[in-house]
Amino acid sequence: MPSPPPNPTPDERGSATLIAAAMTAALLVVTVGGAHVGSAVIARHRAQAAADLAALAAAANVLGGAESACARAALLARAMDTAAVACTLDGLDVVVTVEAAPGLSVAGMTPARAVARAGPVAPDGTAD
């Protein structure tokens, strides 16, 4: 069996290792970036779900006053591992703002924020 031909360009020896290292680094950067984007999206969804439920809970207690309704909203937001940062009554409607911290925190990354409104429905089925 004949031996393989000698390397025609000996100065390129090891270049495949450098290309493989660069490709590995690029793959790592894309993976970490995707994980951070995914974490932000999940935090946004958590914040919106918590805001929706907190607004509904507050609307159920609106007849007890603003303090009672907002306390209920804050309690529910804490139970969902988020924070109710604002709660206001607008007539019989309650507007709740909730923040959720992302799972992967990076310097300069702010919490996801969501706002929800809940209140009674008019007898004809439309919202006031």
pLDDT digits (tens, 9 = 90+) for 11-39: 667 778 889 999 999 999 999 999 988 99
Going by pLDDT thresholds of 50, 70 and 90, the confidence category of residue 6 is: low
Calpha distance 113→94 (Å, rounded): 17
CB 103 within 8 A of CB 39: yes
Q: Which of 65, 82, 63 is nearest to 74 (CA)?
A: 82
Beta bridge partners of 96: 87, 116
CB 115 within 8 A of CB 51: yes
Whole-prediction pTM value? 0.75
Q: How many CB atoms lie within 10 A of CB 112?
A: 22
Handedness of CA 4, 6, 9, 13 (dihedral sign): positive
pLDDT digits (tens, 9 = 90+) for 29-84: 999 999 988 999 999 999 999 999 999 999 998 888 899 999 999 999 999 999 99
The whole-number pLDDT of residue 115 equals 97
Arithmetic mean of pLDDT, 96-104: 91
